[in-house]
């Protein structure tokens, strides 16, 4: 493929230095953290399905021969055109891309006497790999990463990935979707999986970073062949993408992590496959903390691929609904102050108030199951009431209130109360303070019972300036779960929080400083914020209702660092990453300030919820955990 056929910015994930800086920890520390935390044996085994192979490429040509160009196309040209900072030139030379006579494709990076690097990048001619409606498809390859480590490996960036076929007919990145099945850098013997979607920068997928697994250990992946696979599953609701290493599911992204339009544009269509071996760029530079490749980088490192396959399964299957908490039937999702933005209906069932809208992009990175962007870009404000009819009389429901501050640029400017069915559920609520800034979404979730006439009433009462709401969801479903727990992480019992329990890994610390909870709704006791568990660790909370729906509230306060960027980490609930590059100080707006992040989660068939904390910079930390029915 020539450089002119696809715009350069749209042909490769762009890892800017600001992302790379967050990844910049010493090689040994990064690898040690990954190896110590991610054990493939503890993760979910491969999904069962009846698969039909629709593409099978093997490399059985004679030693030193090129590729069959009816199956593969070469993507040639300077790496600088790809928008990633890589420095090699991609060629179709058999010095860089060839078959080895032993059943392998070889993509080799070479440095000439002038210090210039060449390498290779290839794509499938076929670009119709897709999941049938109601079915699944999988892309899989068995390969060996470059067998280099330490200084000799600095700058090596092998990748097995895919792009939405629309890129070949004028579509734009990242909206057309990119699924990175394998990436690694600097010979770390690891794997990263990522979905790119939406718009760049920002948007529902936090571009250009995307929705990613972070670094996962891949023991022996440089010295031997291992199988990397991704499955796109449209047979479940919400739809999923699952990443596998040697048959073990280590990362999952669900459709309800972004809005329906973004997901459909990025996932529900065909793809083509790409292999390449880049040299240097923002990703390897950021992880190593230096510009790569260096003079110590060894020429001749190669990625070896033994086979590539694509499979489909099922098709025309009605997705299985995912139950939500509550015993009531009927649900509603309202775009407060705005028009319909599926699945949210146009503003309705209100009395009082006025409307406003903005065009600014709203960050939803701190929200699980966010509403569409359009919902956060419109609002109803003032003193007003929503009375939602058509619900099951006396039925139990989950009420999710969506907010984003779109006018004020400081805390304390907009403060209000919210009552549901006459009971105050939010007191002196400040959107800016709770979300951690302007143009940042936050969701507050409550249980509510419909009246005997099948209504739920929500009142918004101004304290300072004007009350405001962006979106309302009232969700019904199966029987409510039982059980729940509140844990003082790293500390002793502080009623109603129990003493630290159900953890593995990590260390504990405590302070005596007073923690400000002014920006938090329903804060934990002071003692909870004054103790913490830190490091790489996991909480596996038992005793819940099998397959029951719960609200997970994670309490944080930065008690050591006095600047942003010093503590950065990821949080994964039941295998799904819910916080990426999370910074307590930056989110709370300072040291000794509490912040709460809230998510929905479903207990496993054995009645457990698992929460993993993974260090990026310094140490991951949590102060308190609530799992509420």
Q: Please report the pLDDT score of residue 26 as a whole number.
A: 36
CA distances from 22 to 201, 285, 402, 565 (A): 17, 11, 29, 8
User: CA-to-CA distance for 566 and 585, rounded, in angstroms?
Assistant: 8
Instruction: Please state which CATH class domain 332-475 belongs to.
Output: mainly beta
DSSP 491: S
Q: Please report the pLDDT score of residue 554 as a whole number.
A: 95
Extract the residue ranges of the chain whose pLDDT is less than 70.
Answer: 1-49, 315-330, 368, 477-484
The model's pTM: 0.50
Contacts of 559 (CB under 8 A, 6+ apart): 509, 511, 513, 515, 530, 532, 591, 592
| CA of residue 502 relative to chain centroid, distance | 25
| CA of residue 326 relative to chain centroid, distance | 27
| pLDDT tens digits along 54-89 | 999 999 999 999 999 999 999 999 988 888 899 999
User: CA-to-CA distance for 374 and 226, rounded, in angstroms?
Assistant: 43
CA distances from 611 to 44, 90, 336, 578 (A): 15, 42, 33, 10
> How do the domains of the chain map onto residue ranges?
8-314, 332-475, 485-628
Which fold would CATH assign to domain 485-628? Jelly Rolls (2.60.120)
Q: Please report the pLDDT score of residue 436 as a whole number.
A: 86
3-state secondary structure of 407: coil
Contact by Cβ (8 Å): 151, 294: yes
Q: Say yes or no: do domains 332-475 and 485-628 share a fold.
A: yes
Q: Please report the pLDDT score of residue 49 as a whole number.
A: 58
Q: Is the peptide bond before 338 cis (omega within 30 degrees of 0)?
A: no
Could you tell me whether strands 89-90 and 117-119 are parallel, antiparallel, or unpaired per DSSP bridges?
A: parallel
Which fold would CATH assign to domain 8-314? Jelly Rolls (2.60.120)
């Amino acid at each position: 493929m020539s450089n002119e056929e696809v715009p350069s910015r749209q042909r490769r994930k762009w890892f800017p230095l600001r992302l790379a800086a967050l990844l910049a920890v010493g090689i040994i520390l990064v690898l040690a953290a990954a190896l110590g935390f991610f054990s493939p044996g503890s993760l979910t085994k491969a999904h069962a399905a009846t698969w039909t192979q629709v593409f099978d490429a093997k490399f059985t040509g004679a030693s030193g021969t090129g590729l069959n160009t009816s199956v593969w196309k070469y993507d040639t040209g300077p790496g600088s055109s790809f928008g990633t900072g890589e420095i090699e030139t991609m060629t179709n030379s058999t010095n860089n891309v060839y078959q080895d006579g032993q059943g392998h494709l070889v993509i080799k990076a070479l440095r000439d006497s002038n210090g210039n690097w060449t390498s290779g990048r290839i794509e499938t001619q076929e670009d119709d790999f897709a999941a049938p409606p109601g079915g699944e498809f999988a892309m899989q390859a068995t390969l060996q990463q470059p067998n280099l480590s330490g200084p000799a490996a600095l700058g090596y960036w092998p990748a097995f990935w895919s792009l939405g076929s629309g890129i070949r007919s004028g579509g734009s990145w990242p909206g057309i979707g990119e699924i990175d099945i394998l990436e690694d850098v600097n010979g770390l013997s690891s794997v990263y999986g990522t979905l790119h979607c939406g718009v760049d920068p920002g948007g529902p997928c936090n571009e250009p970073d995307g929705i990613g697994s972070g670094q996962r250990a891949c023991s022996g992946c440089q010295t031997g062949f291992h199988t990397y696979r991704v499955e796109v599953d449209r047979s479940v609701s919400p739809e999923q993408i699952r990443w596998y290493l040697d048959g073990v599911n280590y990362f999952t992204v669900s459709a309800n992590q972004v809005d329906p339009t973004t997901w459909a544009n990025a996932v529900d269509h065909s793809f083509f496959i790409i292999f390449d071996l880049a040299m240097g760029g923002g990703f390897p530079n950021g992880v190593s903390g230096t510009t790569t490749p260096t003079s110590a980088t060894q020429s001749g490192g190669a990625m070896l691929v033994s086979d590539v396959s694509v499979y489909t399964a099922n098709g025309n299957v009605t997705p299985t609904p995912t139950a939500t908490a509550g015993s009531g039937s009927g649900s509603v999702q309202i775009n407060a102050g705005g028009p319909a933005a599926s699945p949210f209906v146009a503003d309705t069932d209100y009395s009082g108030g006025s409307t406003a809208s903005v065009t600014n992009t709203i960050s939803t990175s701190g929200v699980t199951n966010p509403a569409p962007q359009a919902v956060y870009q419109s609002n109803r404000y003032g003193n007003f009431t929503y009375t939602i009819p058509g619900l099951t009389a006396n039925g139990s429901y989950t009420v999710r209130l969506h907010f984003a501050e779109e006018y004020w640029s400081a805390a304390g400017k907009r403060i209000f109360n919210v009552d549901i069915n006459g009971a105050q559920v939010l007191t002196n609520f400040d959107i800016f303070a709770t979300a951690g800034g302007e143009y940042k979404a936050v969701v507050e979730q409550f249980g509510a019972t419909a009246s005997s006439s099948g209504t739920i009433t929500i009142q918004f009462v101004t304290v300072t300036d004007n009350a405001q709401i962006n979106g309302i969801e009232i969700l019904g479903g199966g029987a409510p779960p039982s059980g729940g727990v509140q844990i003082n992480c790293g500390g002793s019992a502080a009623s109603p929080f129990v003493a630290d329990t159900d953890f593995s890994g990590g260390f504990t610390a405590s302070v005596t400083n007073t923690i400000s909870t002014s920006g938090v709704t329903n804060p934990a006791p002071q003692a909870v914020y004054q103790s913490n568990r830190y490091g790489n660790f996991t909480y596996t909370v038992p005793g819940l209702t099998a397959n029951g729906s719960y609200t997970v509230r994670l309490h944080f306060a930065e008690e050591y660092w006095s600047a942003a960027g010093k503590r950065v980490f990821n949080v994964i609930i039941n295998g799904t990453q819910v916080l990426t590059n999370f910074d307590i100080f930056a989110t709370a707006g300072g040291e000794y300030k509490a912040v709460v992040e809230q998510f929905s989660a479903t207990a496993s068939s054995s009645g457990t919820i698992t929460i993993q904390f993974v260090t990026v910079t310094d140490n991951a930390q949590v102060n308190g955990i609530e799992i509420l029915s």
